Chains A and B, each alone.
Chain A
Amino acid sequence: EDNGNDHDEL
């Protein structure tokens, strides 16, 4: 399992 989308990157 990965950490996923952190909404920081564009």
Chain B
Amino acid sequence: MNIFRLAGDLAHVFAIIILLLKIWKTRSCAGISGKSQILFALVYLTRYLDLFTTYVSLYNSVMKVLFLASSGATVYLMYVKFRATYDRNHDSFRIEFLLVPCLLLSLLINHEFTVMEVLWTFSIYLESVAILPQLFMVSKTGEAESITSHYLFALGSYRALYLLNWVYRYIVESHYDLIAIFAGIVQTILYCDFFYLYITKVLKGKKLQLPA
């Protein structure tokens, strides 16, 4: 554990709390992509199967359970409790275009050809692109509520901070994981356009609105 990793994990937890609070307080999931949330739930389900096989630390186990529970809760709130507020017409990204390539790539490029490792690899690849339906939705409507922008900023920061964690671990511990590093770079690049808009607009008190 190092400061970058801890900061990344906290940004991730913070993002999830912002999203759950937004949905709960406004009793609405307008502007949130249910497809991205389903993909994230799938990411955690396939990655954290090792909860049953590998014990790392209490911190590690608690965080894994937290991510599984919160993503399950988000999907429940969107598709069951506040279903009427779900903006499905704007959530039209075809997720099979993400699922199929990630599955094929994880079968081809992995650390070890075992069920657990392929599923772990699939989750890493899928996480890197899971935000695309959400970004697509923002681009379709041309705007995002401030609270949604804060959520996206915290969620994007998490993998960016992990990049620093990987640099640190490479230098200090000589540990590196090319699959995680490559996917983390892709994931962070996908947020760059959003980061730019967030810093130039939302932080100056304006609503996130895309140029027409």
Contacts and interface: CB of A to CB of B under 8 A. Distances in A.
Interface string A1-10: 0111111111
B9 A2 contact: no
Contacts of A5: 111, 117, 120, 177, 179-180
A3 B176 contact: yes
Contacts of B35: none
B17 to A, nearest CB: 16
Contacts of A6: 175, 177
A9 B5 contact: yes
Nearest to B57: A8
Contact of A10 (B64, B111, B112): B64
B56 A8 contact: yes
Q: Please report whether the interface of chain A is mostly helix, strand, loop or mixed according to DSSP.
A: loop
A2 B170 CA distance: 11
B111 A8 contact: no
B64 A3 contact: no
A10 B176 contact: no
Nearest to A8: B56
B177 A4 contact: yes
B67 interface: yes
Contacts of B89: none
Contact of B63 (A2, A4, A7, A10): A10
A8 B5 CA distance: 11
B177 A7 contact: no
Contacts of B176: 2-3
A5 to B, nearest CB: 6
A8 B177 contact: no
A2 B177 contact: yes
B151 interface: no
B78 to A, nearest CB: 23
Interface in B16-61: 50, 54, 56-57, 60
Given A3-B174, A10-B64, 18 more contacts: A2-B111, A2-B179, A3-B177, A4-B112, A4-B177, A5-B117, A5-B120, A5-B179, A6-B175, A6-B177, A7-B50, A7-B56, A7-B60, A8-B56, A9-B162, A9-B177, A10-B9, A10-B63
